Amino acid sequence: MTTTANPDLRTPMTGTDADELTVRPLRHPWRWVGAVIVLVALLAFAQSIATNEKLDFAAIGQYLFSPRILGGVGLTIILTVIAMLVSTVLAILLAAMRMIGNPVMVAVSAVYIWAFRGTPLLVQVVLWGYLGLLYERLGFGIPFTEVMFWSLPTNQIVTPFIAGLLALTLNQAAYSAEIVRSGMLSVDAGQQEAAASLGMTPVRTFRRVLLPQAMRVIIPPMGNELISMLKNTSLLSVIAVLEVYTVAMQISAQNLKQVELLIVVSIWYLVLTSLLAIPQAWLERYFGRGVAGASNRKRATRQVNPGTASTSTSSETAVEEPRVENER
């Protein structure tokens, strides 16, 4: 039995043959097949929506900018902004309590986060809406006594708007506190030691040293929480807060255009979430400029002046040579 070796394997490749090689990229035909299938499916879905006789596109255009819908959109924005601002302040306080080292503060913060993260937001919304069933009146007085300086019926203080705002704010503070704490833990411990060596108080160190550096880690997840907050306002429909989803459901109950009104609500949510992504991207660039910006500037400098190092070296050599000759 004889075997014949491949002559191409025995013959060494010369430099000229290597230069004449043509490198061809690896082809992936099945990727294009998958892309065509996905495109066809999307076109089929769009065609089924466009030709669906059960959809009243005129009603969608009619209610998209309806005054009632616009009022619901405005209330949704107000709820989102207030709840996010107040919850962020509470989150910073809760995160500081977790890291301050006081066992009472740590325990209170941990129990708060455990309770509000461990129960559904919908349940919390309903509980705040039914707060009048637990306490008939709310006010100020001397604790552990029946002395009251001022009080009002609970339903007059905790209106549906206040109840929804409390539910969103307190629930979001528990999630944001962990985000803030993880951001502060990402800062090197030496930063805190350096601030202490300069005589800075713990509060000033947290406010001027830890928090600004932690913002680079905090901003991306907090942006996601802001978008989630915007969509979670729809849960307030169970306590009759007139945000955009509640208003749309009230209108659909009158004209039986449920799908059309849901499409209107979806369009507004998409518009608002897209607008919220703009300041998030700006904040990420702003707080990340000290890390990514410095490296990019150095890289750009090396690319613009590739011969700087060699020029400086040659100039130093040229300067050193006369000095050596003079010494000789």
Q: How confident is the model at residue 266 (pLDDT cuts 50, 70, 90)?
A: very high
Provide the percentage of residues in the chain whose pLDDT is more than 90: 47
Q: What is the pLDDT of residue 164?
A: 94
Q: What is the pLDDT of residue 207?
A: 79
Q: Give the chain's length.
A: 328
Please give the Cα distance from 223 to 85 (Å, whole number). Answer: 12
Tell me if 224 sits within 8 A of 51, measured CB to CB.
Answer: no
Q: What is the pLDDT of residue 10?
A: 52
- pLDDT > 50? residue 154: yes
Q: How confident is the model at residue 308 (pLDDT cuts 50, 70, 90)?
A: very low
Please give the Cα distance from 99 to 86 (Å, whole number). Answer: 20
Q: How confident is the model at residue 327 (pLDDT cuts 50, 70, 90)?
A: very low
Q: What is the pLDDT of residue 326?
A: 43
Token pair 């309806």 in the structure block, residue: 66
Provide the percentage of residues in the chain whose pLDDT is more than 70: 82
Q: What is the pLDDT of residue 12?
A: 56
- pLDDT > 90? residue 309: no
Query: Tens digits of per-residue pLDDT, 314-325?
Result: 444 444 444 444
One-letter amino acid of 306:
P
65-87 average pLDDT score = 95
Q: What is the pLDDT of residue 141?
A: 83
pTM (predicted TM-score)? 0.74
Q: What is the pLDDT of residue 232?
A: 94
- pLDDT > 90? residue 265: yes
- pLDDT > 70? residue 82: yes
CA 97, distance to chain mean position in Å, is 23
Pair of tokens at residue 45: 């879905």
Please give the Cα distance from 315 to 264 (Å, whole number). Answer: 70
Q: Please state, rounded to an integer, the average pLDDT across all residues of the chain.
A: 83
CB atoms within 10 A of CB 289: 13
Tell me if 248 sits within 8 A of 169, measured CB to CB.
Answer: no
Query: Tens digits of per-residue pLDDT, 126-153?
Result: 999 999 888 888 888 888 887 878 888 8
53-77 average pLDDT score = 93
Q: What is the pLDDT of residue 107?
A: 94
- pLDDT > 80? residue 57: yes
Q: What is the pLDDT of residue 317?
A: 41
Q: What is the pLDDT of residue 321?
A: 42
- pLDDT > 80? residue 124: yes
152-162 average pLDDT score = 91
Q: What is the pLDDT of residue 13?
A: 56
Q: What is the pLDDT of residue 139?
A: 85
Query: Tens digits of per-residue pLDDT, 201-242?
Result: 878 887 788 777 888 888 889 999 999 999 999 999 999 899
Tell me if 271 sits within 8 A of 244, measured CB to CB.
Answer: no
Greatest Cα pair distance in the chain: 111
